[in-house]
């Protein structure tokens, strides 16, 4: 045995970036990484919400700073990584969480809608990984938040499903290339998670209580997931407990894809 359980999950002295970290799954991940001792840069296009999340982490004894970055802009992404290195002196963990999922029937999809989703969800994730990997001089971890939609379509989200399928392969591709630099790259595929973004998509799709009931019936564990269900797995992938895992996708969906 090389380390105790406490040591395996101790991220003190490490620095992390969580994109889209202001709310929902990203905020929960930031909270868990900070609880484990990491200094966390909460990067988000919504600067005010990012500040509130960073402040909340600070109030509970964690170390977090907010940074405004639009994941569609490669310049913002490079500035985000530079800010983390300047502020914390190093970078060990990147969580590519920022993502949008606007309900859009395929026959009504515009080029602008397609580009927006692919730019935030996939192009942004690639350039964040590139900038972060260049800065991870002592090795590191990249955790990509994909989706069960990268494996199985929900409907009316062709752009999103394509971006998340791309995220699954991007994870494997980067894992192969970055392994020799001591950087492990893994992904999580959340199922239905109770977040502000999910609530908006459900409202836009006219997802009624009856439809939600049918959806719930397909989840063997009998409940919709909470952001912390994903955050705990992200913490695992960022921790010493996951030292020898790379290129993997962990589905965290309460069993939804089983039926």
Ligand X SMILES: NC(=O)c1ccc[n+]([C@@H]2O[C@H](COP(=O)([O-])OP(=O)(O)OC[C@H]3O[C@@H](n4cnc5c(N)ncnc54)[C@H](O)[C@@H]3O)[C@@H](O)[C@H]2O)c1
Q: Which two tokens stand for residue 60?
A: 């509970």
Identify which of residues 195 and 246 has a Cβ nearer to ligand X in the complex. 195
| Site membership for ligand X, residue 186 (CB under 6 A) | no
| Site membership for ligand X, residue 226 (CB under 6 A) | no
The interface mask with ligand X, positions 154-183, x = CB under 6 A, is ------------------------------
| Site membership for ligand X, residue 193 (CB under 6 A) | yes
Could you tell me which residues come within 8 angstroms of residue 68 by beta carbon, excluding any fewer than 6 positions away? 43, 44, 45, 47, 50, 76
| Site membership for ligand X, residue 23 (CB under 6 A) | yes
- Taking CB under 6 A as the binding criterion, the range among 10-18, 174-182, 191-199, 234-242 that sits at the site for ligand X is 191-199
Among 16, 18, 24, 77, binds ligand X (CB under 6 A): 24
Among 65, 84, 145, 184, binds ligand X (CB under 6 A): 145
Among 35, 47, 70, 228, binds ligand X (CB under 6 A): 70
Identify which of residues 36 and 148 has a Cβ nearer to ligand X in the complex. 148
Question: What is the total residue count of the chain?
Answer: 259
| Site membership for ligand X, residue 35 (CB under 6 A) | no
Interface contacts to ligand X, rule CB under 6 A: 19-20, 22-26, 44-46, 49, 69-72, 97-101, 120, 145, 147, 190, 192-193, 195-198
């Amino acid at each position: 045995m090389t380390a105790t359980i406490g040591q395996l999950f101790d991220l003190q002295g490490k620095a992390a970036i969580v994109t889209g970290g202001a709310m929902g799954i990203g905020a929960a991940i930031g909270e868990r990484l900070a609880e484990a001792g990491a200094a966390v840069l909460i990067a988000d296009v919504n600067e005010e919400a990012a500040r509130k999340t960073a402040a909340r982490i600070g109030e509970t004894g964690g170390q977090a700073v907010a940074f405004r970055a639009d994941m569609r802009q490669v310049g913002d992404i490079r500035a985000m990584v530079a800010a983390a290195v300047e502020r914390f002196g190093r970078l060990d963990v990147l969580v590519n969480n920022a993502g949008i999922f606007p309900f859009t029937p395929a026959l009504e999809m515009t080029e602008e809608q397609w580009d927006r989703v692919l730019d935030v969800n996939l192009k942004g994730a690639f350039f964040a990984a590139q900038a972060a990997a260049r800065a991870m001089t002592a090795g590191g971890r990249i955790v990509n938040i994909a989706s069960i939609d990268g494996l199985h379509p929900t409907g009316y989200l062709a752009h999103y499903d394509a971006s998340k399928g791309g995220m699954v392969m991007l994870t494997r591709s980067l894992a192969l290339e970055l392994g020799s630099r001591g950087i492990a790259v893994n992904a999580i595929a959340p199922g239905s998670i109770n977040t502000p973004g999910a609530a908006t998509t459900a409202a836009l799709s006219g997802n009624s209580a009856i439809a939600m009931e049918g959806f719930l019936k397909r989840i063997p564990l009998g409940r919709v997931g909470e952001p912390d269900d994903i955050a705990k797995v992200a913490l695992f992938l960022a921790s010493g407990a996951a030292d020898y895992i790379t290129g993997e996708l962990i589905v965290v969906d309460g069993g939804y894809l089983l039926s």
